Amino acid sequence: MRLQRTLKNPVSVQGIGLHSGNKVSMKVNPAKPGTGLLFRRTDLPGRPEVGATLHNVISCSHATTIGTQHFHISTIEHLMAAFAGLGIDNATIEIDGPEVPAMDGSAAIFVFLFQDAGIQVQGSPRRFMEVIRPLSIGDGDKKVTFLPHSSFHIEFSIDFPHPVIKAQRFKAEITEKTFAKRIARARTFGFLKEVEMLHKNGLALGASLENAVVIGEDSVLNQDGLRFSDEFVRHKVLDIIGDLYLLGAPLRAKVIARKSGHALHCRAIKRLMEAGSYAWRYADSPIEAATISRWHRELTPAGAGAAV
């Protein structure tokens, strides 16, 4: 049986928000079992709190934003990916502004700080969300599919009509090790020609070569180039790991994503949640091999289940 985990010690960081450009301080504290990931705005009267769950998502365009009618916290996805990747269930995140600091545009600094602070195993079992029937949701040529699987596996493909990116595909079993080594360091990216339009819409105001891979006509403008030759698709994997953690429990499934972004990720997890016991169940111990074989036997070729 896997147990819940939190940090051993608090961690503090300062940085600027990718979209707002505002300076922000953030402190991540250990929390009791069952707390989940609870964000608190320390700059507002009453220090309001909001849990990082699907129910509290208020926007999924460009970045993932949670909140209520009265306040919000945006661009939580890379921090969420760090929690998911390291298997951290419980923490309170105190933040004195409306956006999580961008750091270097990846999850690497969060991962480094969390590993440095230490991870505390707690006394309560960890509850997994186990997919038992295939489910997929699409939007044009974008698609996210959930399949039954004995662990958490992601397969992501992108195809940008740009010579620097083109078609890229990445697949991996997501463990603490693969996440830290192969995914956490992949940075967010954007096209130079879109900067003006983003700025007009109040987006990417804090973006720079320090916290994003910037793509010009036919090359990457960052002096040191890319961290991985397929850094773009790896960053998409990082994003979906963060978004999937809004389910409120770690997933046990194979997730196949094609060209999807935050908006479709949010719709996909909403659809999965709504499918309820048809598509998934909670489990706190590993699945037995016999159960997995039974699932595979039950999956007819047309067994696209609730494919949409």
How many residues bind to Zn ion according to rule CB under 5 A?
2
Secondary structure letter of residue 218 according to DSSP? S
By CB under 5 A, tell whether 29 contacts Zn ion: no
Rounded-to-5 percentages of helix, strand, coil across the chain:
25, 35, 40
Looking at beta carbons only, is 99 or 239 nearer to Zn ion? 239
Distance (Å, whole) CA 159 – CA 169: 9
| Six-digit token string for 278 | 């048809």
Alpha carbon dihedral 242, 179, 92, 97, in 10-degree steps, equals -60
99 is a contact residue toward Zn ion (CB under 5 A)? no
The span from the CA of 235 to the CA of 50, in Å, is 26
Which residue among 239, 244, 251, 254 contacts Zn ion (CB under 5 A)?
239
| Of 45-53, 85-93, 188-196, 258-266: span binding Zn ion (CB under 5 A) | 188-196
Relative orientation angle of helices 77-86 and 108-117, to the nearest 10 degrees: 40
Q: 130 vs 239, which CB is nearer to Zn ion?
A: 239
Regarding 188 and contact with Zn ion (CB under 5 A), the answer is yes
Start-to-end Cα distance in the chain: 34
Catalytic residue set: 262
Q: How far is the CB of 239 from Zn ion (least distance, A)?
A: 4
Q: Which of 29/188 has CB closer to Zn ion?
A: 188
Instruction: Kindly state the smallest distance separating residue 204's Cβ from Zn ion, in Å.
Output: 12
Q: How far is the CB of 102 from Zn ion (least distance, A)?
A: 10
Where on the chain is the footprint of Zn ion (CB under 5 A)? Answer: 188, 239
